[in-house]
């Protein structure tokens, strides 16, 4: 039996590009020396899209993770059987949301049971998810729910930028309300632990301000003085190299040029915009705070191009690579 880590790839909404980018990723890169991969989702959808992979690629249905062999030219799929037949590409539906949810649920369960070394998630559609009756904001919240309702933190990681978020899927007003000392401190701790886990050579963490110019000593808001500075001071008391608050309009350039190893962003767009500007195809979404490894592509279901064969798998390759890196460090 192979001792290589077994990673699960949850295929997301079958009407989106998840299956396509996964098959293209397997065709682009040979993972046989570093891991085994098991696809979780609808085998019918995978079979219908095998043409997007390498010529001769074939599907093998497995009944349990232990049956996945990692054989070259073979796609091992754990079929969940939600759909009676493949969905038309690019169409939002409750069935697509249900299939995406069940694949993710199974992946989490298998990872928690130790049958998978971690999971890589293809995109789901939040509207389809809600239409199926699953009232979650997205992957991160579902993961937190099934892993014991523990706090989770979204990290967007690329070669030159690692950005972790204090809050993500909420209104801007709610994001301001959530920028409190305990949450900010826990976010700093989470990224510091992650940098140590992956063996990153440095752990200099910049904490962005919430307001323009990081509040300008209270002229443009008091959140830096009242909430962010106390979190930084508490982190430094724990011997974490946290610095700031750094004005959000300059912190990412400094990090990109090597001045910091990670940035704590106060809310979704403050962190997503710079990362997607410089590394849209390469950035990986990593969920911190979980008892399992989870990485993901940093793009959506792209219903507008689904089924056309034009989706770029670069982001899926990066997500798998990052999970392999994390699983290898965990095994060590």
DSSP 165-178: ES--SS-HHHHHHH
Say if residues 272 and 216 touch (Cβ distance below 8 Å).
Answer: no
Domains 1-150+290-332 and 154-279 share a fold: yes
Q: What tokens appear for 284 in the block?
A: 């990986």
- Quote the CA–CA distance of 9 and 268 in Å, as a whole number: 25
Q: Is a pLDDT exceeding 80 seen at residue 58?
A: yes
Q: What is the mean pLDDT of residues 69-79?
A: 91
Q: What tokens appear for 162 in the block?
A: 């690692």
Q: What tokens appear for 261 in the block?
A: 């190893």
H/E stretch holding 288 = strand 284-288
Query: Strand pairing partners for 76?
Result: 60
Q: Is a pLDDT exceeding 80 seen at residue 1?
A: no
The reply to whether omega before 245 is within 30° of 0 (cis) is yes
Which residue, among 191, 202, 186, 185, has the nearest Cα to 157 in the 3D structure?
A: 191
Q: Is a pLDDT exceeding 80 seen at residue 115?
A: yes
CATH superfamily, domain 154-279, is Isopropylmalate Dehydrogenase (3.40.718.10)
Interval 200-213: pLDDT, tens: 999 999 999 999 99
Interval 12-57: pLDDT, tens: 999 999 999 999 999 988 888 899 999 999 999 999 999 998 888 8
Number of neighbours of residue 25 by Cβ within 10 angstroms: 25
Q: What tokens appear for 156 in the block?
A: 């967007």
- For the segment(s) 1-150+290-332, the CATH number from 3.30.1330.10, 3.40.190.10, 3.40.30.10, 3.40.718.10 is 3.40.718.10
Q: What tokens appear for 297 in the block?
A: 């592509």
- Quote the CA–CA distance of 8 and 67 in Å, as a whole number: 13
Give the confidence band of 330 by pLDDT, cuts at 50, 70, 90: low
Question: For the chain, what are the domain ranges?
Answer: 1-150+290-332, 154-279
Q: Is a pLDDT exceeding 90 seen at residue 69?
A: no
Give phi and psi for 246, each to the nearest 5. Answer: -100, 135
Mean of per-residue pLDDT scores for the chain: 94
Q: What is the mean pLDDT of residues 166-185?
A: 96
């Amino acid at each position: 039996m192979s001792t290589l880590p077994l990673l699960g790839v949850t295929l997301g909404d079958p009407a989106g590009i998840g299956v396509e980018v996964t098959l293209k990723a397997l065709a682009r890169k040979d993972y046989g020396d570093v891991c085994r991969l098991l696809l979780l989702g609808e085998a019918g959808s995978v079979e219908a899209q095998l043409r997007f992979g390498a010529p001769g690629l074939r599907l093998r249905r497995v009944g349990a993770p232990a049956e996945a062999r990692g054989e070259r030219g073979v796609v091992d799929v754990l079929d969940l059987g939600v759909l009676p037949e493949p969905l038309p590409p690019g169409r939002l539906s409750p069935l697509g949301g249900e299939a995406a949810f069940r694949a993710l649920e199974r992946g989490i369960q298998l990872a928690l049971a130790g049958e998978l070394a971690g999971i890589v998630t293809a995109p789901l559609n939040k509207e389809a998810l809600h239409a199926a009756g699953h009232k979650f904001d997205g992957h991160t919240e579902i993961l937190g729910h099934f892993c014991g309702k523990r706090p989770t933190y979204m990290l967007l990681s690329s070669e030159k930028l690692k950005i972790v978020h204090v809050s993500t899927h909420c209104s801007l007003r709610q994001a301001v309300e959530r920028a409190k000392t305990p949450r900010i401190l826990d976010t700093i701790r989470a990224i510091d632990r992650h940098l140590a886990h992956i063996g990153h050579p440095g752990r200099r963490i910049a904490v962005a301000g919430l307001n323009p110019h990081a509040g300008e000593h209270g002229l443009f808001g008091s959140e830096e003085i009242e909430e962010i500075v106390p979190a930084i001071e508490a982190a430094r008391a724990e011997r974490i190299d946290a610095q700031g608050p750094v004005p959000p309009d300059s912190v990412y350039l400094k990090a990109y040029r090597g001045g910091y190893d990670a940035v704590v962003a106060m809310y979704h767009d403050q962190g997503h915009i710079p990362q997607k500007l410089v590394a849209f195809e390469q950035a990986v979404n990593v969920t911190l705070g979980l008892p399992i490894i989870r990485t993901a592509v940093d793009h959506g279901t792209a219903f507008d191009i689904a089924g056309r064969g034009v989706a770029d798998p670069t982001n899926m390759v990066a997500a798998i690579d990052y999970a392999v890196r994390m699983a290898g460090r965990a095994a060590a």
